[in-house]
Structure 1
Amino acid sequence: MRRLRNDLPYTFRPPKLENWLRPLGLAINRAVHLKRKYRIAKIEAKGFEKVRELNEAGHSVMLAPNHSDHSDPHVVMEIASRHGMRPLFMAAREIFEVSPIASWALQGMGVFSVDRDGPDLSAIKTAITLLEKAADPLVIFPEGEIYHHHRRLDPLNEGVASILLKAAARLPAGKNAYLVPVGLRFFHDTEVEATFSDRLSKLEDRIGWTPKPRMPIDDRIHRLGTGVLALKETEYLGQAGSGTVQDRLTRLCEELLTLAEGRYPRDAKAVTPPERVRALRFRIRRRLLDGEKPPTPAERELLLDDLDRVFTALQAHSYIGDYLLEDPTLDRRAETILKLEEDLYGFPTYPIDRTARVIAGEPICVSEMLVSGVLPAKGGALPLTELLEMRLDGLLSSAS
């Protein structure tokens, strides 16, 4: 999870698919992103033949994968291309702000931006239009954020279901809208275990501790995680907390969100921590960019500090206290260390080859559910999101 401490005005970037760019983009994706950057040595896929059949028949297809790793969109793009499809992606605005060249390349490959913190009508309209055209599958990650725990989902954003329902209502006779859950799991080569001790030593040194290479790996991970949590509690709350790790994570998240919400109008519809974070970021950035009444230097600094607070709240929420202790497998150890590296260094490391296992679940025919009355025309986003969450949970459990 990457820090979002900026006050840049948002500019919508639409998709500008360039056919000549696609072969080059796919080659770079394989050689640079998958092989070198994310160390994806092998991709195993199931269920995409059905997706291709629906796409070739002219139906609207939305792929909704879980989002647990930075390589997720690169893996989905590669799998889709192997099956003769050209997927379009909705992606966070921040990746377009890296550089003009990055923005141009992303748009040329069919990626368009979305501001996750506000009502981005341009992104919503674009997604609906693309689904209406039904030329290519549309990929949207309903979790929104990357949490690095591959076996558990975070609450899904209802916006994905809402977009598909609106598109389904506009399709002509004979064309259906399908929602396809996609389960993504990553498995590490056993050689990754040999990297744990040195990487943990560097992380311990990062927070000023003396490395403990002779301590059992699970104890070191738990000790390090607890130490980082105590540092964050002390930074924001004045002292380290007590109780179980999960209780402390929940308390830190809640207190930071409550503190920030005391300075801005509360969004009554925002209930879960990710929803509350998005609502707060929207209000904070809107104030930072107020051209009619710009914030004073002191207020601006407080606003930026509040962005840090809500970021830390989301970080706390993203950790599951018993994730490693519940099932201390090789992959869960690797995931937890990688997550700690990203939070302490600002970026993760991928030292050893991995295998991506991707399963496209049974397509959900949203059009038929609407016609039969299983899904109501209004208010259908919630039950459809719950169905998607149940299907994704099943896929993640089966991809072992």
Structure 2
Amino acid sequence: MRRLRNDLPYTFRPARPKDWFRPPALWLNRHWLLERKYRVTAIEEQGFERVRELDATGDSMLLAPNHADHADPHLMMEIGRRYELPFHFMAAREVFEVSKRASWALQSMGVFSVDRDGPDVSAIKMALSILAAGKPLVLYPEGEIYHHHERLDPLHEGVASIGMKACGRVSEGRQVWLVPVGMRFLHDPSVEATFRDRLTRLEDRIGWTPKPKMDLDERILRLGQGVLGLKESEFQVNVAAGGIQDRLESLCGQLLEMVEARMGSDGAAGTAPERVRAMRYRIRRRLLDVDHPPGEDERTLLLDDLDRVFAALQAHSYIGDYLLAEPTLDRRAETIMKLEEDLLGFPLYPSARTARILAGEPISISEMLQRGELPRKGGASALTSLLEERLSRLIEVPAGAACSTELVSRQSGETG
């Protein structure tokens, strides 16, 4: 999760897919980004034959993966290449604002922007038009990258809402399907040899004397508590009694309450991510107020509030017992990657990984509406709960249960 202090006006970037650009971009995605940058050397996949069959009928396909790694969209693009599924993607506005070249490339691959902090009508309209045209669309219902593959964060209802609205846009006889997609990344055992040096770098980053001889899990926990203590000190919150999870929840809650005391709370926002989005929206709206622009002192306070809500979301994104409950190789690797992103700006990918991606049984939103299983109003909550249940099952499937296919062409028999 990267720090956002965005006070720039938002410009919607629509998808503008270019057929000639797609083949070379998919080649680069596969060989450069997946293999070299994200070190994904093998893929275990299952269930996408069914997705392809439904897509061939002209039905509308809305794919909803969990979102725990920066390689997630690149893995979905590779699956699209394999099954000749021209996926479109909704992506956060920030990735388009890196550079004009990056924005052009994303739009040329069928990716369009969304402002996650406000009601982005343009993004919703484009999503509905893509589904109405019978093109497969990928949306991430978690919204953020959390780096814990074996547990879901609460899902946003936007995906379910778009799927239900699309049912009124498709032509007669066509259906809208919601496909849960579970993704996990399994680390090669060689990654364990990198842990101690990477922790040394992180300890040095916060001014600590490295402890390379300390027990690995104790060392990770000590570092996490140290970073948490720095945040508690930085924002001058009351340190909660209890374990690390109690302190994380307290930090998140206190920071949000500080900002809501100034900006007002949103009664419809229940979860921490919803409260964060509501506050970011209000803060940015005030920062960009042309008629009554904030003075320098108010602007400084508003920017500080953006930092507070970001720190609140960071605290929420850590699960206190994720590593301690089951200190596996993958959970250790994920926790260290998460600390690297928060302290260094981006996680490291020092060794090979296997990506496992499973498409669950497609859910016919159209049939559920016709049978009365989903109310036309308020049905997004029930559909989101069903999606969360299906996704949770998929990410809990034991490793090796899916069909394994190698990414590298010499072992898969592919030449492209």
TM-score interval, smaller chain: over 0.9
Residue equivalent to 2:51: 51
Give the AA of the match of 2:110: G
Distance in 1 separating the partners of 2:132 and 2:201:
51
| Structure 1 residues 74 and 399: alpha-carbon distance in aligned structure 2, compared to 1, 3 A threshold | farther
**CA contact under 8 A between 1:130 and 1:138: conserved in structure 2?**
yes
| Structure 1 residues 133 and 8: alpha-carbon distance in aligned structure 2, compared to 1, 3 A threshold | same
CA-CA distance at 1:170 after TM superposition: 2.3
Distance in 2 separating the partners of 1:309 and 1:399:
38
Correspondences of 1:343-382 after superposition (within 5 Å):
343-382=342-381
| Structure 1 residues 88 and 163: alpha-carbon distance in aligned structure 2, compared to 1, 3 A threshold | same
Give the AA of the match of 1:75: L
Residue equivalent to 1:188: 187
Distance in 2 separating the partners of 1:170 and 1:309:
40
Distance in 2 separating the partners of 1:173 and 1:20:
32
Residue equivalent to 1:157: 156
Correspondences of 1:24-63 after superposition (within 5 Å):
24-63=24-63
Distance in 2 separating the partners of 1:120 and 1:265:
21
Distance in 1 separating the partners of 2:23 and 2:301:
47
**CA contact under 8 A between 2:240 and 2:246: conserved in structure 1?**
no
CA-CA distance at 1:169 after TM superposition: 2.0
Partner-residue secondary structure (3-state), 2:269:
coil
Output one character per residue of 1:298-323: Cα deviation in whole Å (capped at 9) or x when no partner: 11111110000000000000000000
**CA contact under 8 A between 1:230 and 1:241: conserved in structure 2?**
no
CA-CA distance at 1:31 after TM superposition: 2.0
Correspondences of 1:166-245 after superposition (within 5 Å):
166-237=165-236, 240-245=239-244
Distance in 1 separating the partners of 2:359 and 2:76:
10
Correspondences of 1:104-115 after superposition (within 5 Å):
104-115=104-115
Distance in 1 separating the partners of 2:398 and 2:181:
11
Distance in 2 separating the partners of 1:371 and 1:42:
41
Distance in 2 separating the partners of 1:244 and 1:398:
30
Give the AA of the match of 2:342: D
Residue equivalent to 1:97: 97
Give the AA of the match of 1:222: L
Output one character per residue of 1:83-132: Cα deviation in whole Å (capped at 9) or x when no partner: 01110000000000000000000000000000000000000011011101
Partner-residue secondary structure (3-state), 2:396:
helix
**CA contact under 8 A between 1:359 and 1:399: conserved in structure 2?**
no
Residue equivalent to 1:389: 388
Output one character per residue of 1:244-287: Cα deviation in whole Å (capped at 9) or x when no partner: 00000000000000000011132111110000000000000011
CA-CA distance at 1:32 after TM superposition: 1.9
CA-CA distance at 1:237 after TM superposition: 2.0
Residue equivalent to 2:126: 126
Partner-residue secondary structure (3-state), 1:42:
strand
Residue equivalent to 1:70: 70
- Long gaps (5+) in structure 1: none
Partner-residue secondary structure (3-state), 1:45:
strand
Residue equivalent to 1:312: 311
Distance in 2 separating the partners of 1:82 and 1:205:
43
Q: TM-score, normalised by structure 2?
A: 0.95
Output one character per residue of 1:315-368: Cα deviation in whole Å (capped at 9) or x when no partner: 000000000000000000000000000000111111111000000000001100
Q: TM-score, normalised by structure 1?
A: 0.99
**CA contact under 8 A between 1:230 and 1:239: conserved in structure 2?**
no
CA-CA distance at 1:37 after TM superposition: 1.1
CA-CA distance at 1:239 after TM superposition: 6.2
Distance in 1 separating the partners of 2:78 and 2:21:
15
Distance in 2 separating the partners of 1:149 and 1:28:
27
> What is the RMSD of the two structures over their aligned residues, measured on CA atoms?
0.9
CA-CA distance at 1:44 after TM superposition: 1.2
Which sits farther off after the overlay, 354-363 or 232-241? 232-241
